[in-house]
């Protein structure tokens, strides 16, 4: 069991402090990811752990030993580093570069043994680089060279592996292969892994725990599923995101939400009937277009409810997994009465949310334009023994408009917006 402890370190470049009072611990078999914006101190932290940059304050321990009091070879036998870029200007073969990882284990002036060659070959096979063992490393692509450098680190047989953006230059296929390999080493060989990432989702997929750095300080640290939250991402990166568990993998999935600058606010107020995530993309698109939105009735914890909260969209709410009560229904009707357009997303309808279609029927009776987005057959989304289908058919017969795509929806809304603006201007004339 190896334990790495970072005990309250400060690091500076000249008079510029880059890390301040950073402290955490990590042990064998744990995969720790470090996330933060550019200039937050991620690479500096790795440089400090790898003895390239000595802290002005604090201590770094491997077990009970101060890493800066150990001999270089002693550290090299326990710790390997994969930097962002490794310039190799000489025409070493890939195998020669990988064999350099054996240096800490070899006495002076001794050639590589059969065991050293076997270890190097195994590392190259693991990283898919043995096929170009005899090729000069200067002739390799960026991704191929990165895998050779990772193979060199593995040949070092470290107990601790530090990686600074390990998937740089790699395509998506190689990214997954390399990260799967590193995760496997972490589990099977109980290797302690610390890696810097820029990709939230890659970090969430592979890391057991995360550190979020901002301006040289730790903002959040802990288990990935507890640390990677919309609130923490906002604190560190000043970016709005939706953080949800992926429905297939069960892993956290981070979706950044950008906001257009200087967007002109449009006059229409739109009410969305949605649920189960069907309204989330619409909320983003329509707010980006400058429309004011409301939505409901949404169950608390529903994906659309969380998106609405993030985008500051008012909603009529109901308890999780509960049918719409009279109180929530009245709140929804009151919200609809203050809007100009009602849009029904292609959501599923069951006994719990059928009253949303009842609200839509009342809106249409009061002359509020109603748009139904059709995506697939209605029967696939109707779990009310035909009641929802009857409601939607009646809405269409009474004048509700159907659209097949978001672009059709936006075109229809633009038409209504222009009519609404003309009507407003005419009212203002004396």
Specify the 3-state DSSP secondary structure of 333. Answer: helix
Q: Is the pTM of this model over 0.85?
A: no
Among 155, 153, 165, 208, CA closest to 183: 208
CA distance 331 to 336: 9
Instruction: Look at residue 355 and tell me if it is in a domain.
Output: yes
The verdict on 129 and 251 lying in the same domain is: yes
The verdict on 53 and 179 lying in the same domain is: yes
Residue 172 has pLDDT above 90, yes or no: no
Which pLDDT score is estimated for 339? 94
Question: How buried is 277 (Cβ within 10 angstroms: 0-12 exposed, 13-18 middle, 19+ buried)?
Answer: middle
Which pLDDT score is estimated for 368? 94
- What does the pLDDT average to over 402-408? 89
Residue 56 has pLDDT above 50, yes or no: yes
Q: Which domain holds residue 303?
A: 269-423
- What does the pLDDT average to over 138-165? 89
Instruction: Look at residue 428 and tell me if it is in a domain.
Output: no
The verdict on 80 and 149 lying in the same domain is: yes
What CATH number does the domain containing 284 carry? 3.40.50.450
Instruction: Look at residue 228 and tell me if it is in a domain.
Output: yes
Share of the chain above pLDDT 70, in %: 95
The verdict on 393 and 351 lying in the same domain is: yes
Which pLDDT score is estimated for 260? 59
The enclosing H or E element of 31 equals strand 31-35
The verdict on 67 and 32 lying in the same domain is: yes
What CATH number does the domain containing 68 carry? 3.40.50.300
End-of-domain residue from the set 255, 281, 312:
255
**Which residues face 82 on adjacent strands?**
163
pLDDT per residue as tens digits for the range 225-234: 999 998 899 8
Residue 239 has pLDDT above 60, yes or no: yes
Instruction: Look at residue 261 and tell me if it is in a domain.
Output: no
The verdict on 298 and 363 lying in the same domain is: yes
Instruction: Look at residue 72 and tell me if it is in a domain.
Output: yes
Instruction: Look at residue 264 and tell me if it is in a domain.
Output: no
- When pLDDT is cut at 50, 70 and 90, the band that residue 106 belongs to is confident
- When pLDDT is cut at 50, 70 and 90, the band that residue 292 belongs to is very high
Instruction: Look at residue 262 and tell me if it is in a domain.
Output: no
Residue where the block lists tokens 């995101």? 241
Specify the 3-state DSSP secondary structure of 138. Answer: helix
Instruction: Look at residue 297 and tell me if it is in a domain.
Output: yes
The verdict on 281 and 250 lying in the same domain is: no
Residue 37 has pLDDT above 50, yes or no: yes
**Which residues face 65 on adjacent strands?**
62
User: What does DSSP say about strands 31-35 and 16-27: parallel, antiparallel, or unpaired?
Assistant: unpaired
The verdict on 151 and 232 lying in the same domain is: yes
Residue 207 has pLDDT above 60, yes or no: yes
- What does the pLDDT average to over 126-145? 88
- Give the range among 245-254, 318-327, 411-420 with minimum mean pLDDT: 245-254
Specify the 3-state DSSP secondary structure of 3. Answer: strand
Which pLDDT score is estimated for 29? 93
Instruction: Give the distance, in angstroms, between the CA of residue 225 and the centroid of all CA atoms in the same chain.
Output: 11
Instruction: Give the distance, in angstroms, between the CA of residue 53 and the centroid of all CA atoms in the same chain.
Output: 30
The verdict on 324 and 359 lying in the same domain is: yes
End-of-domain residue from the set 222, 255, 288:
255
End-of-domain residue from the set 196, 226, 255:
255
pLDDT per residue as tens digits for the range 306-339: 888 888 899 999 998 889 999 999 999 999 999 9
Which pLDDT score is estimated for 59? 95
- When pLDDT is cut at 50, 70 and 90, the band that residue 427 belongs to is very low
In the β-sheet with 209-214, what is the strand arrangement from edge to edge? 79-82, 160-164, 192-196, 31-35, 209-214, 217-223
Instruction: Render 182-226 in DSSP notation, one character per residue.
Output: HHHHHHHS--EEEEE-S-HHHHHHH-SEEEEEETTEEEEEEEHHH
The verdict on 248 and 125 lying in the same domain is: yes
The verdict on 273 and 238 lying in the same domain is: no
CA distance 48 to 6: 10
Taking each helix axis as running N to C, give the angle between helix 387-397 and helix 355-365, from 0 to 180 degrees, rounded to the nearest 10.
Answer: 10
Number of domains in the chain: 2
Among 314, 32, 40, 323, CA closest to 163: 32
Is the separation of the CB atoms in 260 and 301 below 8 Å?
Answer: no
The verdict on 275 and 164 lying in the same domain is: no
């Amino acid at each position: 069991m190896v334990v790495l402890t970072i005990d309250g370190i400060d690091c500076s470049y000249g008079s510029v402090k880059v890390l301040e009072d950073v402290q955490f611990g990590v042990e064998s078999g744990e995969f720790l990811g470090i996330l933060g914006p550019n200039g937050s101190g991620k690479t500096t932290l790795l440089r400090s752990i790898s003895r390239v940059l000595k802290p002005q304050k604090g201590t770094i321990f491997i077990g009970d030993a101060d890493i800066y009091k150990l001999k270089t070879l002693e550290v090299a036998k326990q710790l390997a580093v994969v930097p962002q870029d490794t310039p190799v200007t000489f025409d070493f073969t890939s195998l020669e570069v990988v064999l350099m990882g054996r240096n800490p284990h070899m006495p002076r002036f001794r050639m590589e043994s059969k065991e050293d060659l076997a270890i190097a070959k195994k590392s190259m096979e693991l990283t898919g680089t043995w096929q170009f063992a005899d090729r000069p490393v200067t002739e390799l692509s960026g991704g191929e060279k990165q895998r050779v450098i990772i193979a060199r680190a593995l040949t070092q047989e470290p107990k601790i592996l530090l990686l600074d953006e390990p998937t740089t230059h790699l395509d998506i296929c190689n990214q997954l292969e390399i990260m799967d390999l590193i995760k496997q080493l972490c589990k099977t060989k109980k290797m302690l892994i610390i890696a810097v990432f820029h990709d939230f989702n890659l970090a969430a997929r592979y890391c057991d725990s995360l550190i979020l750095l901002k301006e040289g300080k730790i903002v959040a640290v802990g288990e990935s599923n507890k640390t990677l939250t919309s609130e923490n991402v906002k604190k560190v990166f000043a970016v709005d995101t939706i953080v949800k568990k992926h429905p297939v993998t069960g892993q956290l999935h981070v979706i950044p939400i950008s906001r257009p600058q200087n967007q002109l606010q449009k006059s229409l107020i739109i009410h969305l009937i949605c649920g189960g995530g069907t309204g989330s993309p619409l909320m983003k698109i329509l707010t980006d277009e400058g429309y004011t939105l409301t939505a409901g009735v949404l169950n608390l914890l529903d994906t659309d409810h969380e998106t609405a909260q993030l985008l500051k969209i008012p909603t009529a709410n109901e308890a999780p997994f509960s049918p719409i009560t009279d109180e929530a229904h009245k709140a929804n009707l009151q919200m609809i009465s203050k809007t100009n357009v009602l849009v029904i997303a292609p959501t599923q309808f069951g006994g719990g949310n059928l009253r949303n279609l009842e609200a839509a029927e009342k809106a249409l009776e009061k002359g509020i334009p109603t748009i139904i987005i059709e995506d697939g057959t209605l029967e696939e989304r109707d779990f009310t023994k035909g009641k929802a289908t009857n409601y939607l058919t009646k809405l269409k017969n009474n004048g509700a408009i159907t659209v097949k795509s978001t672009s059709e929806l936006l075109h229809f809304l633009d038409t209504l917006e222009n009519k609404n603006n003309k009507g407003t201007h005419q009212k203002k004339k004396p």
